[in-house]
A and B are shown apart, each in its own frame.
Chain A
Amino acid sequence: MTLAKTIDRVCKGAFSDEVPFSGYVPPPALIPDPAHKSSGLLFISFVTARSPQTGKTAIFRPSAVLRLNGKGKLVAFRNYREAGDQFPSLRWSKPLAMWPHPAVAGMTVKAYTEKRDALLEMYEAELPRFPASRALSPGFAESWRLIAHPVVLPFLKELAPHFYKAVSAPVAKAA
């Protein structure tokens, strides 16, 4: 299985029978692993719920985090409902945001999935570069910022500070 396909399946909750990991799972953050000259991937699973009447989806706080190594193998999993909640003061019952975020709300479903798939294909090339450079290619960073719901950002600031800084770097403007 390619790395992009593995990421796709994790984000879609395809492994949620093995680990309780579903809901809204944005594209993962990179975690530098200098010892292996590669990067791991950090996924955050957000609780979601839909309004029975309107079908609109609300995004709640994270319920779990999961890490894969650069080969796409599961190396760590933390279920915040059981232990090790890194955001203990966040209530489970309060929505933090609503899907979709405005940057993609007007996009067709097909256009969104194509852009998302293209982003996932970029991870393979970013993994080996990130530990040394702590930087992301402009195309990857721009694509990630478009596809990922902004609700993930404050959590990444805590959980993946290097990635947060890299993805937040000002976009270089053409002269």
Chain B
Amino acid sequence: MATALGPAPGTGADALRRGTTARLRWRTGFDRWVGYLLPLLFLVALVPIAYLVYFVSAKALPGLSWAVLTSSADYQIHDALGVPIVTTFLFMLLATAIAVAIGVLGGVAAAEFLPERSAGWMRMSANMLVGMPSVIIGYFGYFAFVLYFHWGLSFLAGVVTLAFFMSPYVFRTVDLAFSSIPRPIREAAFGSGARPVQYLLRVGTPIAFPQILTGVFLAMAIGVGETAPIVLTVEPGLLVPTGAFQPAVFTTYLIWTGFNQPPGDVAYTLAFQAAFLVIVVVLALNVVVRVVAARYRQRLEGLYQ
């Protein structure tokens, strides 16, 4: 009996103590060192970002004022960001609208309507597009829209090229958001006599919405920092475009043309001020994403129990 003989070896209180064999000592030691190493590596990863923010702010902030941000003067001569800012806003508004339309339709089709095989092809294409260097998307836009469609180096060509660049990011999050709705929830909707579109609008969308919104914001954050798709398809303009085939200036164009000018030159100053703005916008978009996602997650708590 166990009471007479005591517990079997390795099953008594000593089973809970840290191991003392060489192998176990090595394992616990390794665990501890990994615990120190990972935060350290994280700090190492932070260094370039911190340096970048510091480097750009140091050059951008001294001359940056409300007057600079709102001045619509000629940016080739004056320190004036008004035209690029408003134009970039228009670019982003239209490109995001197109990218969302393509991405949402494609994502919903892949997640809900298409057979697994065709959905797989769509996912693979989207992954390839995401991995594609932006300059190649830029060339595609140049050959397709500028030359083949005869749109010329124009605002429209830039908007559509940028939308092409952003749409796979939206597609991927929409597809994932709808595919990851718990199967029982989806089946309960169909079991209650919903048609696929009713399921998508009434049940799927409220659940998938935070993730979709996150994808859209991240696509915007990626799009607003892009250069190649724009410089290859749009002629830089001095005014805010009022028509589809007019020249237009994207903020990153200023960075691309100005960073290698002599310091003190207006173009050099503008390059850093524009870079600073892009960093601020990207950071703001990321913060908004987190806040929105957290709020919705609260509302959906308990759904995946």
Is chain B found bound to chain A in the same assembly?
no
